[in-house]
Chain A
Amino acid sequence: MESQARNDTLRLRAKLLRAIRFFFDQRGYTEVETPIRVPIPALELHIDAMPSGDHFLRTSPEFQLKQLIADGLHNLYQIGSCFRVGEKGDRHHPEFTMLEWYETPGDAESVMQTTRELLLYIATELQQTSKVSWQGQSIDLAAYESHTVSELFKQYAGWDPVERFDPNRFDEDLVNLVEPKLPKDRLVFVTHYPAPLAALAKLHEPKRKTAARWELYLGGIELANAYDELTDAGEQRQRLVDCADDRAELNKPAYEADPAFLAALERGMPQTGGIALGIDRLMMILADIAKIQAVRALAEE
């Protein structure tokens, strides 16, 4: 990429970070920095952490931020690098920048509302209009649609993963059949993930077949993942145990169920909605750039 174009992109990125900070600071949020290098990485099925001496580089700040929330620091946000093994491509960089924020009191719906407001604010602040053009596709950041996973899979994949979850089919059908069909001209929220994919979100009572988890797609790109945060320590512990078993079955490196994180949930975490949003991918959309390497300074090819 030409130096001039690259430098212009980095200047735009600085504006984006400033706008995000202004948005949250205005609302009384506290910006925090949790350790990048952690003793125990987040325990998730398909995410592997880079070792760093006898520690690991964080794959996400979630397990740390929730400890701060349990200790009384509410409405916080963090912008910083996360690192994942084996994730490299046009939309994946091994080190990438994540924005995470948590709203208390809050839930999946309140976070969705904040997200819409944030994106609209960013667009108007950076370019005076709610419409962006990305790779020939016009996107109106003021417009949005919401669909459940069940609805989308029944329509585009011919089966309902909420009725009967099939881990061997879900991801493949998601990327091959469902994602390509999502509208690309507006915010698209995919909601009500099947219970087995709840991750760290609460399950909807009383049926407990779906999770209060949603993801945001923009221009066909997966941009953010949000939860009504699971605050029940016992249920969270069980999920981590099950996850560890699943990882072992796939011969993946074993990680501990973070005791500091679980102890924080035991102390008590309030009703909270939280979200992780990919800053690099948001930059790609705002700068009309197809490859993640071009929105990061000194990126790996």
Chain B
Amino acid sequence: MYEASDLKKGLKIELDDEPYVISDFSFVKPGKGQAFYKCKIKNIFTGSVIDKTFRSVDKIGKPDLMEKDMTYSYEDGENYVFIDDKTYDQAEISAELLGINTNFLIEDMAVKVLFYNDRPIEITMPNFVEKTIAETEPGFKGDTSTNTYKPAKVDNGYEIMVPLFINIDDVIRIDTRDGKYADRVSKG
């Protein structure tokens, strides 16, 4: 069980046998009074957000989480299928639970899959993926500043803002944690 003082934004907890992630967190304590931990918690499966305030004496459920190394195999309608290389077990995760990661998955990519009570709920990708620019306005030669950005699309249609000097066929690295441009790998 977690102590109330363990609570923080991004922490996964279990409430009424459901997994939640703390999406917002506020520590409140009048000077001579008791502490309150005011949270907004999001149900990982349904996505619904509720307000929940904990007191310092409260104990909060720790979800039974397990991480496995798996490989992305293919997309099957709304679900993405991952395979355990050793056991050939499969895990399916919906596009909704994967979030922006659906834009970066490449066949045979190695990821870590997080299971809650044997149900896959989340994946951790490599921090960066390389993608080729398919569409963008031409940049000006010699403009190497990274301060001004322009819209671009990579080969799978994912839209991203890139520096002005990036051109079609350039290979760039995207930070999978926020989906933003990181740097250029090679020119097209």
> Which residues of A pack against B, CB within 8 Å?
44-47, 86-92, 170-172, 174-175, 197, 199, 215, 222, 225, 250
The answer to whether the Cβ of B102 comes within 8 Å of any Cβ in the partner chain is no
Q: Which B residue's beta carbon lies closest to that of A84?
A: B29
**18 A-B pairs, CB-CB below 8 angstroms?**
A44-B32, A46-B32, A46-B35, A86-B56, A87-B27, A87-B29, A88-B27, A89-B26, A89-B29, A171-B33, A171-B34, A172-B36, A175-B28, A175-B30, A175-B36, A215-B31, A222-B31, A250-B57
Q: Which residue of A45, A47, A90, A222 is within 8 Å of B26 (Cβ)?
A: A90
From known contacts A86-B5, A250-B57, infer whether A174 and B32 are also in contact, taking CB-CB under 8 Å: no
Q: Which residue of A86, A90, A174 is within 8 Å of B30 (Cβ)?
A: A174
User: From residue B5, how far is it (CB to closest CB) to chain A in Å?
Assistant: 5
Q: Which A residue's beta carbon lies closest to that of B28?
A: A175
A-B interface, 3 closest residue pairs, ranked by CB to CB distance from nearest:
A89-B27, A171-B33, A86-B5
Q: Which residue of B26, B27, B36 is within 8 Å of A171 (Cβ)?
A: B36
CB <8 Å contact, A170 and B33:
yes
Contact with A along B1-45 (1 / 0, CB 8 A): 000010000000000000000000011111111111000000000
Q: Which residue of A46, A92, A174, A199 is within 8 Å of B27 (Cβ)?
A: A92
CB <8 Å contact, A199 and B32:
yes
> Which residues of B pack against A, CB within 8 Å?
5, 26-36, 56-57
User: From residue A56, how far is it (CB to closest CB) to chain B in Å?
Assistant: 18
CB <8 Å contact, B32 and A47:
yes
Docked CA distance A213–B16 (Å): 42
**Residues in A whose Cβ lies below 8 Å from that of B32:** 44-47, 197, 199, 225
User: From residue B17, how far is it (CB to closest CB) to chain A in Å?
Assistant: 26
User: From residue B28, how far is it (CB to closest CB) to chain A in Å?
Assistant: 5
**Residues in B whose Cβ lies below 8 Å from that of A46:** 29, 32-35
User: From residue B32, how far is it (CB to closest CB) to chain A in Å?
Assistant: 6
**Residues in B whose Cβ lies below 8 Å from that of A171:** 30, 33-34, 36
Q: Which B residue's beta carbon lies closest to that of A225?
A: B31
Docked CA distance A199–B29 (Å): 16
Docked CA distance A44–B57 (Å): 17
User: From residue B7, how far is it (CB to closest CB) to chain A in Å?
Assistant: 11
**Residues in B whose Cβ lies below 8 Å from that of A86:** 5, 35, 56
Docked CA distance A175–B38 (Å): 11
From known contacts A86-B56, A89-B26, A90-B26, infer whether A174 and B31 are also in contact, taking CB-CB under 8 Å: no
Q: Which of A89, A170, A174, A199 has the most CB of B within 10 A?
A: A89
Docked CA distance A250–B56 (Å): 11
A sample of 6 more A-B contacts (CB under 8 A), given A46-B34, A215-B31, is A45-B32, A87-B27, A87-B35, A88-B27, A89-B27, A89-B29
